[in-house]
Chains A and B, each alone.
Chain A
């Protein structure tokens, strides 16, 4: 789906846990998530921690949409 959107001209960011899968399939802008059942918030942590992580990684994804890239790029996250 990511590739279909990008072919149509939309900059797309793929947020996913299995980055190697996304890379092999051919996504150009990727942001890692922390797991499969809860990509952006571990229920075993405090709600405030989950929120910080989610807000930060979504922010990275939004920035990635505005970042020119030449090749497949995995954007780094801090939280």
Chain B
């Protein structure tokens, strides 16, 4: 009977919601949260322990959290670690990636997690662990667990696996040598020529080696501070209390622009000023003082002391959680003309 250990965050670990995101790592005997369903789907293996850690604790104290978790696992016997599924939750996906990478490196066991393609954890960790191509919401938990366990079972049984596309995980950039049956059609020469013939004829063909395109942006020239007209942008969902632009709390497709002409400090929610609508964290701090996310007070003070030329009269706001890269890019393109119109030449983007 093989042994598996699971990692979950505070929410799936039943500790609480955003209010408990600072939960320090703990290890529990047995199965908590999705580990229960995972246990049922494993063949000839059981989940012996579940590690639980708050997403904020892991995010803000990654080294400390990982070091404590590794210490907790020192005296445990286990053959595989499963983390998540994390769906589209950014902090959770990054946490799962960090845990899988560290555990894999220290204990030499295979590790598997699952998250949606839009999760930043994918790009960061796909080379360090198996990341199953997961759904974008916890409503699809059953499906993600089914795929995850199917693959985990193969790993536990030591069965040969058929590569990223076949097994349903994100390609790790690792090439394996396999030997095909020794016949003419399997030679590289034959395959190469067949591909070329298709290409010449304009027929679709599939390259055997996909060259990844790294999306690098050339560094923009710095601005001279005495000429700097700075615009503030946030993905922290800071909006007027009535959310006049109806910006969505998650998976946003809308953005707003709000005047700060003559404003030295953003008024808070109780005073009818601004609040946060971001669904990804506890809004209490931002509702009490929106300047902790959109620091108009600090920027105005710096402007008054002459640190830079001037602050643009508007700040721009949307919500980052669950928002796709393409929607975010479109929103940025839409914002640019307003900035150019006012001679803005420098931007600070704040995220949460």
Contact = CB atoms under 8 A, between A and B. Distances in A.
A37 to B, nearest CB: 4
Contact of B120 (A7, A13, A24, A43): A24
B193 interface: no
Given A11-B346, A12-B220, A17-B59, A39 B332 contact: no
Contacts of B15: none
Interface in B260-286: 280-286
B220 A58 contact: no
Interface in B280-319: 280-286, 288-289, 291-293, 295, 297-299, 301-302, 307-308
Contacts of B216: 26
B222 interface: yes
Contact of A54 (B221, B224, B291, B333): B291
Contact of B219 (A18, A22, A39, A70): A70
A29 B348 CA distance: 10
B298 A10 contact: no
B311 to A, nearest CB: 10
Interface residues of A, number: 53
Contact of A43 (B281, B288, B293, B307): B288
A37 B228 contact: no
B336 interface: yes
B350 interface: yes
Contacts of B328: 1, 4
Contacts of B346: 10-12, 65
Contacts of A16: 350-352
B17 to A, nearest CB: 12
B94 A12 contact: no
A12 B348 contact: yes
Interface of A: 1-18, 20-22, 24-26, 28-29, 33-41, 43, 50-51, 54-55, 57-59, 61-63, 65-71
Interface of B: 18, 21, 56, 59-60, 90-91, 94, 120, 123-124, 215-225, 228, 230, 233, 235-236, 280-286, 288-289, 291-293, 295, 297-299, 301-302, 307-308, 328-329, 331-333, 336, 339, 344-352
